[in-house]
Amino acid sequence: MDITSVERPVLMEKLLKIDNKHRQVVPFTPNNVQLELLHKKGKRGIILKARQLGISSLILADMFLECITVPNTTCVVVSHEQHATERLLARVHFFYENFPDPKPTIGHASAYEITFPIMHSTIYIGTARSMTFGRGDRIDRAHLSELSQYEDGERILNAVEEAVPLDGELLIESTPAGENNTFYEQWVKASEGKSGYKAFFFPWWMGKDFAIPEGNPLALPPDRGKLRYAPDEEKLVKLHKLTPDQIRWRRRKIADKGALFYQEYPEDSISCFLQSGEPVFDPNILSDMATLCYPGEWHSPGFYLWKEPIEKNHYVIGADCSAGVEKGSYSAAAVLDESYTVCATFQARAEPSQFASILAEMGKYYNNAMVVVERNAQGYAVLAKLVDYPNIYRQRDYTTGRQTDRVGWWTSEQTKGYMITSFRNTLPRVKTWDANLVRQARGYTYIKFKPITQGFDDLLVATMIAVAVKQVEGGSRGYIGSAQKWDW
């Protein structure tokens, strides 16, 4: 029997029970977060979430119904540690114990497994450390819980991906826990549309219980009456229509958890990941930027646009080049206007000739913008394909300020330090709505006094080049004529 996503909430409410936060056994009525996931999850999903939204309970309920209605179903749940594993399967046992008669027949039942022999179905739960998967294993539905906490997340994920066929279901969920783990890597790729996973972000205010009414003794003493909002609270109220009760709850949780609040109860999908090392760029500015990010408009031949060109305005395009090979770095470009607004961006594994064509199209679209190509490595090949483009940047000597005969930007220790400093000093004036750019800037940290990225930094490098060049060239320079017979 195939149960549709429309029928499942009805079946859950009629057949399953759950103990709520008041320790009452009640029908399993999916909340708004659970309903959204149930209707939109598809076959591959990765979920960045706040705590206590009921994601794991929903997935387990869905698996339980699948096992008792669809023959030959194998469901696997992986958790990060023993206690969490036992708690998850205890939830499945609770569903069964409170199931109305006649109950489905169960066979083997332990702290790790429940079988349904008549249906030849099984739910198995284990820890990331103990789970092993062989070549012949087939899993119909898998759930990786708190992937960010796994010691060997990449190994587990690869094994599960091989065991779950493309028409099976694989859901990954976690609260954020730093940027140096498999969950973060997979989340970034999915949120940028660069993987087969559908990205879901559920902030804390989607939880209906995260509120404290006026006068309630659970609130901090100064907050039990009417509230006066701080600037960051005013922004949240305006952007997300939060209520005073939600702000009152937020203040109490921040008082209890400090900075960890933003990790366990994320408010945006960028600043919630805790960084290691000293940040190179102001994290407060980047956090403010993160709250305003939204997807740009796709524009042929593949760049994303937030701000259309204005006639007679002058634009600079910074470009970081790659070989375009699978699993390698990305080719990236950022369009900067006269007020340091990032108007459009491009990032993909494009090989040099393809990237050159995209840069020419972007440049033409933005009033023959000055194109600044980092000429290190593959940059030479990109510049060779741009020989007919009319507005190519020529390197300046940053000691004398004189323009040289060399086209493109050369990144050395000297120029890298200059562009980092330029970007850091200009950051309060920079406007961007590109979440990927903000994420890369947050991942740039000082490790042993050296600026080091914690992931890909191609789009950040392209933007820093554009900012550095704009500061030297100014905003008044436009078309400078074709650059022929380049001397490298």
CATH number for the domain harbouring residue 160:
3.40.50.300
Residue 296 lies in a domain: yes
> pLDDT tier at 74 (50, 70, 90 boundaries)?
very high
pTM value is 0.69
Residues 423, 407 share a domain:
yes
Residues 257, 334 share a domain:
no
Residue 300 lies in a domain: yes
Using one digit for the tens of pLDDT, what is the confidence trace for 326-377?
777 889 999 999 999 999 999 998 999 999 999 999 999 999 999 999 988 8
> Residue with structure tokens 């083997």?
108
Q: How much of the chain, in percent, has pLDDT values that exceed 70?
A: 91
CB atoms within 10 A of CB 253: 16
Domain residue limits at 152: 7-202
Rg (CA), the chain: 26
Residues 306, 263 share a domain:
no
> pLDDT tier at 291 (50, 70, 90 boundaries)?
confident
Residues 73, 152 share a domain:
yes
Residues 133, 65 share a domain:
yes
CB-CB contact of 215 with 224 (8 Å): yes
Pairing of strands 169-174, 44-49: parallel
Preceding peptide of 102 cis, ω within 30°: yes
Using one digit for the tens of pLDDT, what is the confidence trace for 384-398?
999 999 999 988 765
Q: What pLDDT score does 415 carry?
A: 83
Residue 488 lies in a domain: no
Tell which residue, 228, 227, 229, 231, has the closest CA to residue 212.
Answer: 227
Domain boundary among 257, 274, 291: 274
- Name the residue with higher pLDDT: 304 or 401: 304
Exposed, middle or buried, 226 (CB in 10 Å: 0-12/13-18/19+)?
Answer: exposed
Residue 131 lies in a domain: yes
DSSP letter assigned to residue 230: -
Residues 251, 299 share a domain:
no
Angstrom distance (rounded) from CA 253 to CA 262: 10
CATH code: domain of residue 308: 3.30.420.240
Q: Measuring CA to CA, how many Å separate 65 from each of 3, 77, 272?
A: 9, 15, 34
Residues 260, 130 share a domain:
no
Residue 177 lies in a domain: yes
Q: How wide is the angle at C-alpha 442 spanned by C-alphas 440 and 447, nearest 5°?
A: 100
Domain boundary among 254, 274, 294: 274
Residue 28 lies in a domain: yes
Residues 217, 326 share a domain:
no
Tell which residue, 12, 62, 69, 23, has the closest CA to residue 173.
Answer: 62
Residues 186, 51 share a domain:
yes
pLDDT for 485 beyond 50: no
Q: Which helix (H) or strand (E) holds 442?
A: helix 435-442
Q: Measuring CA to CA, how many Å separate 80 from each of 19, 146, 187, 251?
A: 23, 6, 18, 30
Residues 309, 374 share a domain:
yes
pLDDT for 412 beyond 50: yes
Tell which residue, 377, 344, 371, 334, has the closest CA to residue 356.
Answer: 371
CB-CB contact of 223 with 252 (8 Å): yes
Three-state DSSP class for 432? coil
Residue 398 lies in a domain: yes
Tell which residue, 253, 238, 146, has the closest CA to residue 207.
Answer: 253
What is the tally of structural domains in the chain? 3
- Residue 30 forms beta bridges with which residues? none
Residue 380 lies in a domain: yes
Domain boundary among 274, 294, 323: 274
> In angstroms, how far is the first alpha carbon of the chain from the final one?
69
Residues 238, 136 share a domain:
no
Residues 164, 246 share a domain:
no
